[in-house]
Structure 1
Amino acid sequence: VKPWHMLFVGSAMSAGLVVMSAGGAPKMSVMINGLPGAMGREIASACLRRGVELVPFGLTGPDCGGELSVDDGSGGSPVTVKMYESDGADEVAARLAADYPNAVCIDFTLPRAVNPNSEWYAKHGLPFVMGTTGGDREALMATVEKANTYCVIAPNMAKQIVALQAAIEGMGADFPGSFDGYTLEVQESHQSSKEDTSGTAKAISANLAQLTGAAFTNEQIEKVRIEDEQLAGGGMSHRGVSPVAKEALSGHAFHTYSLLSGDGQVEFQFRHNVQGRSVYAEGAVDAAVFLAARVAAEEKKRQFTMIDVLRSGAM
């Protein structure tokens, strides 16, 4: 399978306000940028399961254009999605403006596409959910803040992990230095196709480092991408990631965060192990629905995280 990403493309369009349905929920549609990737497929299925209108086209990377049939994974009717490469961007823009002015884009592409994609969304006023990790995150935020673009940007879309992340962030803020003298070790295992270090691991590590009071850099996070190491896990000492089931090698996220006392007598661990992608896909759709409501309400705040989505009760 070829790697996929959305290229920087130019077009002229702006996003319209989301129309509210009779029941009060925003009338909306979702355009997925990142098909035919595995996350894109999972998000398409989640949209169809939940009755969220799926835009039947989207942008993709080089040599990935064509048509793809997606379904809800539960026996529902399939939908054909046309995937446009960069030379079809003008047609995508025209079709969106004409037929889907209330669309929210969901981006699950590649790290190198994060910044050009965000610039494209901002330039054309498109609300978007950025589930892709990596890229220059400071530049990403500068782009959306300058353009005042409606967006949800987060390193993780799973609500349970978002809740854990928020709790650890609170611990770091409320009890800095409470683990003084402890050493932080972090291991994260993902499918071999994931190029970058987990954004979730980076975020949680930064918060845990506040507890130790010691410097911790992203380069200290151990990436596990070799299948034999993933299958074996951390061994009898329970250090490192948990063993990954063979059937989950192509799609998993196993993280272990360890805080070890200076004398080696006390250890605290946080683990979150996810097999498959459905939990992230559901969260991405939650974020899109949340964002559509913010656009419909013309809220002054326009940049959100998944913690905002969770606190709103929208997940």
Structure 2
Amino acid sequence: MKQRMISIIIVGARGRMGTTLIREVMGSDDLTLGACVDRSGGPGIGQDAGRLAGRPDTGVLVTDELKPRRGSVVVDFSLPKATATNVRACVEHGIPLIIGTTGLSEDDDKLLAEAGESIPVVYAANFSVGITLLLQLAGIAAAALGPQWEAELFELHHRFKRDAPSGTALRIGQAVAEASGRKFSEVALTDRSTLGRPRTSEEIGVFGLRGGDSPGEHTLMFLGEGERIELTHRAGDRAIFARGALRAARWAAAQPPGLYDMFDVLGLAE
């Protein structure tokens, strides 16, 4: 039996993730490009999506209005100010939503939870399959090793990234804290330069490095007496995030309503 093609609607089509998603969909055997949407007034409006992504024309033009169709899945990597409008459009048309937009407010989080009552919503700050597994391993290791092992984390991103440490690094640190019964906000340290004291056993160091063109590298170290464990994930290509989001889209297309994350997609949720 021929596999059903899943129509993907990309919101935020002109962004780096948007153009990467277009290329990944065009190269897929089971996905088709249903529509591409970007902000009103942007220079790419009316342009063919394939040409926008440096590929042959697709016949799909970039528009400034989200009109989801039955049988499609919306993949949204746009801006927080557009989130409410995009979520409501998906709910209205009963369309699954994959959202990787960062910097969402508490109101946006509530809106996603409400949307999950009527449609499948997969929300993640990082759609990398490898990072999702690293988060799982971080919690397992922290719980097994106990308080005698100290946790330190550093990350490297390209020179243009504005926030440091990265949101993913903070999420890894949070996973360590939760697994070991600590509150991350109380034990996280991102700068030791002015402390003038030795390290305490409770603290979790999280530090950001910036330079070059790295899409993202994260290394979590557990340090004990006479031994050290390191868990490292290196992203060599931004496409890994697009592939993870599209894996989530394939999964969500067959799911009941609910608010999910990548742990659900990979079958790692408790």
- TM-score, normalization: structure 1? 0.64
Distance in 1, matches of 2:136 and 2:122, equals 16
The Cα shift of 1:109 comes to: 2.0
Distance in 2, matches of 1:198 and 1:275, equals 17
Determine the structure 1 residue equivalent to 2:50: 70
Determine the structure 2 residue equivalent to 1:121: 90
Preserved CA contact (<8 Å) 1:30 1:55: yes
The Cα shift of 1:29 comes to: 0.2
Determine the structure 1 residue equivalent to 2:218: 255
- Kindly report which structure 2 residues correspond to 1:42-191, keeping only aligned pairs within 5 A, or say none: 42-51=20-29, 52-60=31-39, 62-66=41-45, 67-70=47-50, 77-85=56-64, 89=65, 92-93=66-67, 96=68, 100-111=69-80, 113-114=82-83, 117-136=86-105, 138-147=106-115, 148=117, 149-172=119-142, 174-175=143-144, 178-180=145-147, 183-191=150-158
Root-mean-square deviation over aligned CA pairs: 3.6
Letter in 2 for 1:202: L
Q: 5+ unaligned residues in a row in structure 2: which ranges?
A: 192-205
Q: Tell me the matched-pair count.
A: 249
Partner of 1:303: helix, strand, or coil?
A: strand
Residue 275 in structure 1 maps to residue 236 in structure 2 = yes
Preserved CA contact (<8 Å) 1:180 1:211: no
- When residues 222 and 80 of structure 1 are mapped into structure 2, their CA distance, relative to the original with a 3 A threshold, is farther
Determine the structure 1 residue equivalent to 2:195: none
- TM-score, normalization: structure 2? 0.74
Letter in 2 for 1:269: E
Preserved CA contact (<8 Å) 1:60 1:83: no
Determine the structure 2 residue equivalent to 1:3: none
Preserved CA contact (<8 Å) 1:115 1:139: no
Preserved CA contact (<8 Å) 1:189 1:241: yes
Q: Which of 173, 176, 187 is residue 208 of structure 1 equivalent to?
A: 176
The Cα shift of 1:34 comes to: 1.0
Q: 5+ unaligned residues in a row in structure 1: which ranges?
A: 1-21, 224-238
The Cα shift of 1:284 comes to: 1.3
- When residues 54 and 193 of structure 1 are mapped into structure 2, their CA distance, relative to the original with a 3 A threshold, is farther
Preserved CA contact (<8 Å) 2:139 2:179: no
Q: Which of 252, 266, 270 is residue 310 of structure 1 equivalent to?
A: 266
Determine the structure 2 residue equivalent to 1:12: none
Q: Which of 8, 16, 23 is residue 30 of structure 1 equivalent to?
A: 8
Determine the structure 1 residue equivalent to 2:200: none
Deviations 1:281-307 (A, max 9, x none): 11111111111122xxxx3x5222212
The Cα shift of 1:141 comes to: 4.0
- When residues 194 and 76 of structure 1 are mapped into structure 2, their CA distance, relative to the original with a 3 A threshold, is closer
- When residues 115 and 56 of structure 1 are mapped into structure 2, their CA distance, relative to the original with a 3 A threshold, is closer
More displaced, 192-201 or 120-129?
Answer: 192-201
Deviations 1:4-26 (A, max 9, x none): xxxxxxxxxxxxxxxxxx43x44
- When residues 120 and 189 of structure 1 are mapped into structure 2, their CA distance, relative to the original with a 3 A threshold, is farther
